[in-house]
Chain A
Amino acid sequence: MTATVTPMVSVEGLVKVRSQSESVFELHVPRFTVLPGQMVAVVGESGCGKSTLLDILALVMVPTRVALFRIDPGGGPAWDVAALWEREDEGALARLRRDSFGYVLQTGGLLPFLSVRGNICLSGRLKGAEISAGRLDALSRRLGIEGCLERMPLSLSIGQRQRVAILRALAHRPRLLLADEPTAAVDKTRARTIMEDMRHLAVDEGVAVVVVTHDLDLVMDRADLAYTFETEQIGGQTTRSVCRPLAEASP
């Protein structure tokens, strides 16, 4: 973590306002940075805006205001995401997603009509780089799902599905892995091993990780950096949540 390293994700002065009927929710992110290979944890209670932040990072939600939003996958020019949103260049955003991102959903987000192998290979095919059989074998063995490749996702246990989801998110060699409560649906012990496996794999592959969770203990000793949220009620209907690095936030 030296100043000479170019951050992979730099966000400054981000504001997202969401209103639902009468109530208004404001998310403020003064500064959010992810360095290459870093594991960043975003910790918070439900409703604090951590999923909103992840969706914005995943380029599927448009920020209301942002001073700086750059993504630098390396090996090419950095992307000015704020400008892409300005231009509504959804093609470029989708391309950035499929080339540089991997995403693990809370419940896997596997496509039920494709086999495990079909799910994993899809990300590679989208990127235009077929995942080699050797790589698929090696990765699936590391995650302990080598026997499930020909099965359909619905026939797997939830833990297995999460491992498949992690494998799918990493198989096409992305630069950034976004994980949204990847272990929320499994018990604590299994959650730890899944988190551990993901961590190790990310380090080996040199992939930066942003993991969202409500369980601080799960990530405390694994994350290089953690962000959390300060929520306050301002006015009758407005809730404001500010995202800050954990060290700053805790007194």
Chain B
Amino acid sequence: MNARSRPLRQIPALAASHLCHEWILTLCLVVALAAVISPLLVLLGLKYGTIQTLRERLVEDPVFREIRPTQTREFVPRWFDEVSAWAGVGFLTPTILPLSSVVQVVAREEGKNELFDLVPTAPGDPLLLENGAPVPAEGEVVITSEAARRCRLEAGGAITVRISRSRGGRSEQVEVALKVIAVLDPRAGALPRVYAPLSFVLDVEAYKEGYGAPARGWAGQTPDPYASFDGAVLLLAKPLFPIARTGLIINTGFGRIAEVSGEKIQELFGFLPPPGFAAYDLTAPGGSVTASNLQAVDQKLRGQEKVLLPYAQGIELMIEGEALPPIGLSLDGEQGTLLRVEPPPWGGNRGNLSKNGVLLQMLWPSAKPPAKEDAVAVSFAGMDGALAFNLHLTGSTSLPRPVVPVELLGVLRTATQRKVFFDKEMERFQMARGGFRGFRLYARSIDDVPPLYGKLKAQGVEVTAEVAAIERIRTLDRGLSRLFWLISLLSLFGGTSVLVSSLYAAVERRRRDLGVLRLLGFARWHVFFFPVAQGLIIAALGLVAGFGGYGVLALAINRAFSSQLAPGEAFCFLPASSIPLFSLATILLAALASLVAAWRATCIDPAEVIREQ
């Protein structure tokens, strides 16, 4: 230590000795500071404690973290992938239509039926995990306490779920026996509900919509894609009267009828109509032509000699690296004779796509060298990626381009507009699931709820959440914070004034002693630190006394409210991080408060004061 600052080392001890010597004044000052610090700490503790308790109660219950859709609309699978990746999303699973989710539950012992809501779940579902239940596997369910009460069931019991539908005027139903692996805590909801894996719930929804679930042995339709066309060419042996022509576009779904040239027919189907035939092009501008449209026209022209050939334009198949536009043509023998064209082996257009394998045929042009012996691998660019399938070569054709059943062309046209995939095992096209009708979303924490709520709203998804409850706590927190700062400011003012005046008075009282210190060899700037050291010592003592007072008061408060608190909860509680912060602020303030006295001490002129008595 250099000689200049050596006297500085003596200052704290001198300041402490002085405070010791005037211990009654010091004690009063410390008590006054503690009387400011203790209530402030209690207030801070109450703010933290109550808010923390309220928050924890909310945080503990997943209900407050749920964001529910309020409207039924379609959510595509990609939407779920996107939203799952959002920050703050803790759990997300698709759900089904509210109507489809109602199932009958038959309790084992009683014959009584109950209507319960079937809700999908998945691993990580906080509603189940945080209410004392594991996530059910296939063949298992978790039920709410209300469902358990109505069926008089306990965990480990079994229920039979009956799913019914009406199809084609007939009522059908299937039954499934499921194991109840857990009953939820009552706080998880008051409604009777059955939580089951998503795959089961989706099969239930599909069954209710008329589809089957072969894996479960449930009968029903398969989700076949329908055939759609750009239009149809009507070939008639005799021309139509104008009035009959117009009749063909009334209530048939077609919008326009026009005569069509032989060249156009040649381009579409590879052959010219027999001489004398009238040819009309039926189209539905802005829409698609489906089997029902064709049927309607067929009905109107009953008894007349005609052939209705639907067509789809611009469909190209990739066969061994070559893009080939096939001709779609289905004719039965009678139609072939009428048009003088050899009918393909698959016969006429039945509009029915359930004929397995019939779709996947092709006639290779005899003019071209055959590609393969019996089958060609084909790739087609659908809306949702490429469709790859094999076509069986069932013969050759005199037409210039490969010929496929017109139904295949129709399905491929549909695949350009809807999601269609090819099931290789079953060798059939299937419509992919379009989307889901709802979702169950839980935020990671309650603080994530408002931003997620806002984000979904911004996407146009109408949702509801316990934003109000969370906002209430935030408002209370803000209010209490403001109150705390206001009172702090007041106390700060009081405490600082006490320190400023006391330290200043001490300097005035001890002018002569400070003068003597100067005479002994302390420089002006050494004496400056005498009141500063005193301020810091008093602040430190005041903090110790203040924290002591706080400890006693906090204990008393938490005891008094112990009946309303769960174990581990506290009404008055200070987070560990706030203690050093508070102490540092107090010490800093004390140092600031001592500056006036310190400045006063440096103004003392020893020559003036050392002879004072």
Which residues in A have some Cβ–Cβ distance to B below 8 Å? 51, 55, 58, 60-61, 90-91, 93-95, 97-99, 101, 103, 105-107, 109-114, 118, 122-123, 125-128, 180
Contact = CB atoms under 8 A, between A and B. Distances in A.
A93 B610 CA distance: 18
B17 A126 contact: no
Pick the most buried of B4, B7, B17, B526: most chain A CB atoms within 10 A of its CB: B7
Pick the most buried of A99, A101, A118, A122: most chain B CB atoms within 10 A of its CB: A122
B555 interface: no
Interface string B407-431: 0000000000000000000000000
B611 A128 contact: no
A109 B518 CA distance: 12
A71 to B, nearest CB: 14
A95 B21 contact: no
A106 B520 contact: no
Contacts of A123: 520-521
A151 B207 CA distance: 103
A60 B613 CA distance: 19
A61 B605 CA distance: 9
A113 B10 CA distance: 14
Contact of A60 (B3, B6, B606): B606
**Nearest 4 A/B pairs, CB to CB:** A98-B521, A113-B21, A94-B523, A60-B606
B97 interface: no
Given A58-B519, A110-B516, 17 more contacts: A55-B607, A60-B518, A90-B523, A90-B524, A94-B518, A95-B523, A99-B521, A103-B520, A105-B519, A109-B512, A109-B610, A111-B513, A112-B21, A113-B22, A118-B17, A122-B10, A126-B520
Question: How large, as a class, is the contact surface on chain B?
Answer: 20 to 34
A98 B518 CA distance: 9
B14 to A, nearest CB: 8
A22 to B, nearest CB: 20
Interface string B506-524: 0000001100111111111
Given A97-B521, A105-B610, A113-B17, A91 B4 contact: yes
B17 A114 contact: yes
B162 interface: no
A99 B3 CA distance: 10
8 contacts: A60-B606, A105-B516, A109-B512, A109-B516, A111-B513, A112-B513, A113-B17, A123-B521
Contacts of A61: 607
Contacts of B21: 112-113
Contacts of B606: 55, 60
Interface string B1-35: 00110110010001001101110000000000000
Interface in B412-461: none
B327 to A, nearest CB: 109
Given A60-B606, A114-B17, A95 B10 contact: no
B610 A94 contact: no
Contacts of B607: 55, 60-61
Interface string B331-371: 00000000000000000000000000000000000000000
Secondary structure call for the B interface: helix
Nearest to A109: B516
A97 B4 contact: no
A149 to B, nearest CB: 16
B522 to A, nearest CB: 6
A107 B3 CA distance: 29
Nearest to B513: A111
Contact of B4 (A95, A107, A112, A113): A95
Contacts of B6: 126, 128
B22 A98 contact: no
Nearest to B519: A103
Given A105-B516, A107-B613, A111-B513, A94 B3 contact: no
B196 to A, nearest CB: 83
B283 to A, nearest CB: 106
Nearest to A97: B521
Nearest to B524: A90
A28 B524 CA distance: 28
A104 to B, nearest CB: 10
A95 B521 contact: yes
Nearest to A61: B607
B611 A51 contact: yes
A94 B521 contact: yes
A91 B7 CA distance: 11
Given A55-B607, A98-B7, A126-B7, A111 B521 contact: no
A127 B6 CA distance: 8
Nearest to B22: A113
Contact of A98 (B513, B520, B611): B520
Contact of B520 (A51, A90, A107, A122): A122
B583 to A, nearest CB: 27
Contacts of A122: 10, 14, 520
Contacts of B521: 94-95, 97-99, 101, 123, 126-127
A20 B524 CA distance: 25
A109 B17 contact: no
Contacts of B517: 111
Contacts of B513: 111-113
Contacts of B605: 60
A113 B18 contact: yes
Contacts of A98: 7, 520-522
A162 B513 CA distance: 16
Contacts of A112: 21, 513
A91 B5 CA distance: 10
A163 to B, nearest CB: 17
